[in-house]
Amino acid sequence: MTPAEWSTYWENLLWIAAILVVSGLFLSLLLLGWVAWRVKKVYIPAGASFVEALKVTPLAVVLLLDVLDFSLDFFAAPFSWVILGRLGLAPLRNVTLIESLVPGTQFLPTMTLAWLAVRVFSR
């Protein structure tokens, strides 16, 4: 490839990445509005574990966390921390924080997969 072709390739790649990030942020804002409107606070018993918290967590919340992580990568950690605190989902904070800070996991919907696993494999 010539230098001009490489330049065009990287420019196109950056445009695609920017479109994905902006789309993810827009979807995050829509989900955040919906979650704030529909899910005021989730009741979790004191001392609940991560699995117990995921059992009562609405799907929209974990989707919001995954879309935030996809679009903001590790910058999503403080936003997730605040959102989970407002919703009363403190047991999910540490796992979400660790997942946000691990590089390369933003492409995997880990919280959604964990939510599904809890629904399928727990009694």
Amino acid in the structure at residue 46 = A
Q: Which residues of the chain have pLDDT under 70?
A: none
Q: What is the domain extent for residue 18?
A: 3-121
Domain count, the chain: 1
